[in-house]
């Protein structure tokens, strides 16, 4: 008969049982640690890539719906981006909606460069991607870099406005 709070077997665990537990923990850590390390080290640039991709899709959809020319602007010196659209007078004004307003990249992520056929490779200053009401988008390549010099490449496809993301620097050859 057992009493509450007592342990009938006082021998403890065997060496084989402890070894098996350590082996299981080792096998789990072989798979889990690389994923956690990748998430912790590159998480900021991955989330910045996802946010920027979302803004690109949003801008493409807004352009198609409103039949108004839009621009996705990049300030490479301040590491921020925002959407503008052409108003009735023909001037580009800032879109103040939640997804289109000025967004700052994480403090650990920065623009490395932006390439468009119109401007070439831009390293400093302001660049933009043009979204045309007929569904076309200016062919653009954006490079984001984090503190550990990990670079992600975002390529905007001109016919569909879709974004292809690569986890390395892809040089534009034109």
Splitting the chain (174 residues) into consecutive groups of 10 residues, what average pLDDT does each group show? Answer: 57 80 81 58 74 92 92 95 93 88 87 93 94 92 90 92 91 74
CA distances from 5 to 1, 2, 8, 10, 13 (A): 12, 9, 10, 13, 19
Integer-rounded Cα Rg, in Å, for the chain is 25
From residue 127, alpha-carbon distances to 75, 82, 90 in Å are 7, 11, 19
Which of 101, 152, 142 shows the shortest CA–CA distance to 119? Answer: 142
Cα–Cα distance, 151 to 144 (Å, whole number)? 6
Strand partners of residue 91: none
pLDDT of residue 34: 60
pTM above threshold 0.85? no
Contacts made by residues 154-162, CB under 8 angstroms, sequence distance 24+: 154/49, 154/52, 154/53, 154/56, 156/56, 156/129, 159/135, 161/56, 161/57, 161/60, 161/131, 161/135, 161/137, 162/57
Q: Does domain 44-166 have CATH number 3.40.1280.10?
A: no
């Amino acid at each position: 008969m057992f009493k509450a709070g007592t342990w009938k077997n006082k021998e403890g665990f065997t060496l084989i049982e402890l070894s098996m537990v350590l082996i299981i923990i080792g096998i789990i850590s072989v798979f889990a640690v690389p994923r956690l390390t990748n998430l912790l080290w590159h998480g900021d640039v991955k989330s910045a890539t996802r946010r920027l991709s979302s803004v690109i899709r949003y801008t493409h959809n807004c352009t198609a719906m409103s039949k108004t020319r839009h621009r996705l602007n990049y300030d490479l010196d301040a590491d921020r981006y925002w959407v503008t659209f052409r108003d009735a007078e023909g001037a580009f004004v800032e879109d103040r909606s939640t997804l289109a307003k000025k967004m700052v990249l994480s403090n650990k992520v920065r623009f490395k460069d932006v390439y468009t056929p119109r401007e070439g490779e831009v390293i400093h200053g302001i660049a933009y991607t043009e979204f045309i009401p007929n569904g076309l988008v200016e062919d653009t390549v954006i490079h984001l870099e984090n503190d550990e010099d990990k670079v992600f490449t975002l390529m905007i496809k001109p016919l569909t406005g879709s974004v292809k993301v690569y986890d390395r620097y892809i040089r534009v050859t034109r």
